[in-house]
Structure 1
Amino acid sequence: MTGSTVLIQNPTVVQPAETSVFLAPRPSYDPVRAAAESAAVRAALADLGARPCAPSEILAALPREVLIELAVRAVSAEDDLRMAAAREALHDWSAPALVPVVLRQPRLLLDPGAARGVIGPDQADESYALRPLAGLMFPRDHYVDLGEAVAVGRLRRRDRARETVVMAAVLRGLRGRSAEVRVPEPLFLEGGDLVSCGDVAVLGTGWRTSPAVWGLLRPHLLASFGHVVRVRDELRRDGQPHLNSWLGLGPGIALVAADRLHAPAVVERDGVAGRETTLVDALRTINLAVCPLAPDMVAAFAAGVFFLPAFAPPESVLRSESVLHSEPAALVSTASAPWTEPVLSRFGIQTVAVPFDEHHKQFGSLHRALNTVPLR
C-alpha cells in the first residue's frame, strides 16, 4: 500500500465520559459532542478521498502477544503481589478484552475502605483508578511523519510516555515495521514541531523540541523533501508551545504569525545548508507566498487548518461528482471558516468546514487532532 493514512481518534474511546467530569473550564466540555465532531471530521476526510483510521482501531487489530505486552505494562497496583498476579492473569485474556486495559491503564489502590481495596465478589469495597490515555485523541503529539519514514517522539511531560509506547505499537502495526527514528534521552521531539506540505518541511526547535534532534531527522527529511527549513523559537510563548501553533503550511502558501516572521531560520536543500536568515526570507526563497497573521488570527489559521496530503483517492471517490479532486483541499473549523475560507480560496484551495469547538476546549486544534502516516 502507498500513500498516507490520516489518524483521527474518537475522544470517548480513550477518555471515558466519566473522567471528563473533572475538566474545569467553562463552558464545560461535552464528550458526546466531541465524539460527534470526530465523526464529522472523519466523514469529511473520507469524502475527500483520504483514508481515516483511529489508533484504537489499529490497536485492536494488533497480534494478541503484542496486546498482552502492552496490557502488562498498563496494569499497576500498590501491592506488588497483586500486581504480579494481575499481569499473569492477562495472558489468558482475549484480544478484545485486552484493548480497554491498554487504553484505560487501571491501577489498584489499597488506601480507602476497610477491605483495603481488595476486589472480588464478596468484597464491599472496590478501589482502583483509571489513567486513560486521553492524549491519544491528539495523535499529532506523539510522532512525526518524515515523508517516507516515521520518528517516534519523546515528550517533555513524562506522564505522557505511556501514550508514546502505545502509539509506537500502533504505527508498527499499521506500517508493518518499526519507526525509523526513536529519540533517545536526553533529547526531546514533539510532533507539533514539524509541519510539511508537498516538497517543503519546516522544523521548529528551541523550546519543546531539542535542536540536536535535527541530526536524527536530517537524512530522512532530505530524502523526502526538496527543501527543509529549520526555525528557532526564541519567544517561547505558553499559548504557542509548538511550531504548528503559529505556522501553517499549504500548497504554495505559508501562514505565519506576524511577530514570528523574523525568527532565525536556515534552508537546506540537496544536502547543503544556506546561511542563517529570517523565517520570512527563508520561505520566500523557496517560492512560498507568506501570509502574515495578526495575533487574533493565529489560532484560526495556523492550527485551525489541516491541509490534506497528496494521495491517489480510491476509485469510489474518484467517481463521485461531489468532490473536486483537481484542487488542493483543507479542512477548517466552522468557528474559523469566516476568516480562513476567503484567504485560502484566493490560493485555489478547496475548504471544507467541520465543527471542532469541543476539541478546542481541551486545547486541541484540527492540526493537532490529525496526523498522517506514510505507508510506503
Structure 2
Amino acid sequence: MTGSTVLIQNPTVVQPAETSVFLAPRPSYDPVRAAAESAAVRAALADLGARPCAPSEILAALPREVLIELAVRAVSAEDDLRMAAAREALHDWSAPALVPVVLRQPRLLLDPGAARGVIGPDQADESYALRPLAGLMFPRDHYVDLGEAVAVGRLRRRDRARETVVMAAVLRGLRGRSAEVRVPEPLFLEGGDLVSCGDVAVLGTGWRTSPAVWGLLRPHLLASFGHVVRVRDELRRDGQPHLNSWLGLGPGIALVAADRLHAPAVVERDGVAGRETTLVDALRTINLAVCPLAPDMVAAFAAGVFFLPAFAPPESVLRSEPAALVSTASAPWTEPVLSRFGIQTVAVPFDEHHKQFGSLHRALNTVPLR
C-alpha cells in the first residue's frame, strides 16, 4: 500500500458554507466539523503509508494554461459582452486566484430594469451567484480506477458534468496523461458502480451505469484483475444509488445487502465468461466469504468502510496485513466481523459526511499512477 495515492477533498473548499444552509437533514450538517473529519481521515491515510491529496491542491499545481482554460469555462454572465471581457481578463490572473474561480463557478446577474447593467454610484444593479462544484468532495463519483488505467465517467445528473471536466484535468495532472477511457453519449458510468480489492473487481450496471459500458472497461479490467464479476442491479433503494452503497469488497470477504444476493451475475476470468448465476454464487466461486447485510445494516455499513489493499506502517515496512478505515458512524458489528478475517481496522470520524450519504468509500478514491 505504501505510496498509493488517494484523493480526499476538504468539503469546505468546494462546498461553501452558504450552500450548506439549504441542506435539510436533522441534526443539521456542519461544514466545519466535516472539514475536521476530512483532516482526520487524511492523517489516518498518511499513517497507513498512503499519499493523500485533494483535487483542489492538484488544481493549483496544474499548468497555467490549463487553469486559465478551466476558469474561462467556469464563468458566465447575463451580459455577453461583460462575460467575454471577464474571460479575457482571466488570462492575467495568477494561478492561486484562478483556482477558486474554477471551483466556485461565478455567474453575474443583472437587474434588467436598472440602467441596463451600467455600474454607477446610484445603481445597485448587480448580484452574483456561485455554482460551486460541491460534488468534488466525493471523488469516487467521477472516475473509475481500473488498476492500471482510468475511466472518466458520465454521470446521469447533467449538472455534474462540470465536476467531471475538472476531475479529468486533476487526473491528467496527477498521472501526466489523459484517461484511457472516456464514456461517450448516450452511455453512463458512475464511479461508485465499480468496487475492487486485490485480484477481484465487481462492476454493477442498471440504475446509474449503462450495461454497454462493460465493452469499454473489459480489456482494462481483465488486464488488471484475475476475476471480474458483472452484476445487473435494477433494484432502487433510497440512499443506495451505487454498487458501493450496498457491497463492500475486502480481502477474502464480500459484505452484500441481503436483498441483492440473487441479482444476476457473471464471472469472467482469463477472457472467458462463465454462465449467468446469482451474485452470491458468483462471489463464492472465487472463494470470497459472503456476509449478508439486513436492510437495517446496509445504511450504517455502506457509509462506513474503506478497504485498503495492505497495511504497511512507516515504522515497519516488513509487516503487511489487510487494513480498512472504519467510520465511527458505521454499524458496531463492522469491526468485529472484519477482525475475524484478519483485517486491521482504523476508526475515523465521518458522521457529518454521512448526513449527505457521504460514505468513506465515496469520499475517497485511489489513483493508478503506473
TM-score by length of 1: 0.94
Indicate how the Cα distance of structure 1 residues 288 and 316 shifts in structure 2: closer, same or farther if over 3 A, else same: closer
Identity %: 100
Contact 1:8 1:55 in 2 (8 A): yes
Indicate how the Cα distance of structure 1 residues 125 and 311 shifts in structure 2: closer, same or farther if over 3 A, else same: farther
Aligned to 2:70: 70
- 1:136-285 to structure 2, matched below 5 A, reads 136-285=136-285
Query: What's the CA shift for 1:110?
Result: 1.1
Q: Does 1:117 align with 2:117?
A: yes
Matched residue of 2:332: which SS?
Answer: helix
Query: What's the CA shift for 1:60?
Result: 0.5
Q: Distance in 2 between matches of 1:353 and 1:2?
A: 19
Indicate how the Cα distance of structure 1 residues 113 and 251 shifts in structure 2: closer, same or farther if over 3 A, else same: farther
Aligned to 1:7: 7
Query: What's the CA shift for 1:168?
Result: 0.1
**Structure 2 residue ranges without an equivalent (≥5):** none
Query: What's the CA shift for 1:237?
Result: 2.2
Q: Distance in 2 between matches of 1:205 and 1:40?
A: 33
Query: What's the CA shift for 1:112?
Result: 7.2
Indicate how the Cα distance of structure 1 residues 216 and 121 shifts in structure 2: closer, same or farther if over 3 A, else same: farther
Query: What's the CA shift for 1:181?
Result: 0.2
Query: What's the CA shift for 1:375?
Result: 0.6
Residue-by-residue CA offset, 1:136-191 (whole Å, 9 max, x unaligned): 00000000000000000000000000000000000000000000000000000000
Q: Distance in 2 between matches of 1:246 and 1:335?
A: 16
Q: Distance in 1 between matches of 2:345 and 2:179?
A: 32
Contact 1:4 1:311 in 2 (8 A): no
Query: What's the CA shift for 1:19?
Result: 2.1
Query: What's the CA shift for 1:286?
Result: 0.4
How many aligned positions are there? 370
Indicate how the Cα distance of structure 1 residues 230 and 119 shifts in structure 2: closer, same or farther if over 3 A, else same: farther
Indicate how the Cα distance of structure 1 residues 311 and 187 shifts in structure 2: closer, same or farther if over 3 A, else same: farther
Contact 1:4 1:309 in 2 (8 A): no
Matched residue of 1:348: which SS?
Answer: coil
Query: What's the CA shift for 1:16?
Result: 1.1
Q: Distance in 2 between matches of 1:15 and 1:59?
A: 16
Q: Distance in 2 between matches of 1:12 and 1:175?
A: 25
Q: Distance in 1 between matches of 2:118 and 2:22?
A: 26
Query: What's the CA shift for 1:317?
Result: 7.3
Query: What's the CA shift for 1:90?
Result: 0.4
Indicate how the Cα distance of structure 1 residues 312 and 343 shifts in structure 2: closer, same or farther if over 3 A, else same: closer
Contact 1:8 1:370 in 2 (8 A): yes
Q: Distance in 2 between matches of 1:205 and 1:67?
A: 34
Q: Distance in 2 between matches of 1:30 and 1:113?
A: 38
**Structure 1 residue ranges without an equivalent (≥5):** 320-325
Query: What's the CA shift for 1:311?
Result: 7.9
Query: What's the CA shift for 1:288?
Result: 0.4
Residue-by-residue CA offset, 1:275-321 (whole Å, 9 max, x unaligned): 000000000000001011111111222342000134876679779xx
